[in-house]
Structure 1
Amino acid sequence: MTQENAGADAVLGAVAGVAGGAVAGAVSALKAANSVMDRVSESFSSGGGTQKFHVEKDTVLKAGKIIYSQYKLLSDEYQDKVDLLRIRTAGGDKVTTDVVEAWNDRLVFHADSYGNRISAYIDALKNLSDQLEASARQYGFTEEEITATFGSKL
């Protein structure tokens, strides 16, 4: 966890201790989600997002279609929804403002925010799709077969 996340956790923890109830539940949910995202992020930073693998000629287009379609689906959905990740301030009091800022830092603003982690995952899918496309070209598939699998490059 980064220093920024530790600071956000401290603010959220302090608010949860004072406010209790719904805020405490929200903070607990945020910490659980953060734990999952930290594990995903660690897999990318330890090489999980950049590992190479071998595909055969008879599987490269099948694998490519799956990876490319997941890349496109997630990329399109993320672009449509990324603005919804940001929480708008509901009140002007100091506690509310601090909590909203801490959530927004974790959700979208910091380098290791959930939004940026999702974006890194999308980039990893795109890179993998590009590698599979290059492999398909090396295996001698036609441009028509490649375009049908990986879409057209406009």
Structure 2
Amino acid sequence: MCADVIVVGGGLAGSMAAAMLGHAGHDVTFVDPNATYPPDFRCEKLEQGHIGVLRRSGLAEAVIRAATHTDRLWIARFGRIIDKVPFDQYGMAYDRLVNTIRAEIPQHVRTCRTFVDAVTLIENHQRVLLSDGHEIDARLVILASGLNWTLRRNLGISR
């Protein structure tokens, strides 16, 4: 199998990359073992700068519909509320944000529900070996594997 771009990892970065590249008409394969992002005990706060980026990406309306909006920031010190100031922001659980973005990935983007075992350079492209034994060749591999450092370490990428 071949693709122009392979996105490895289905968290926020990988899901956004797959959605944006897919909407731009690129031949994309999205690799993540989970059909939906699993529940995760963390949340995201999106301020106007974030919403501006999402607007440029074409993903803002879906995220805004799924988020909780607030127009005030409560400031507390030592257990007491000391001020309430205007502050336009949206909040949501991280898994809901990721799954909202995933729902925006176009149908023509291929999805592989498996793990990536290795990425190797072959002449002028990359070859991705999947844990199910299949291989995909691509011009570009986007590694968005988040906390999974195995692939980065195997590729010699460090912080």
TM-score by length of 2: 0.24
Q: Which has the larger share of strand?
A: 2
TM-score by length of 1: 0.25
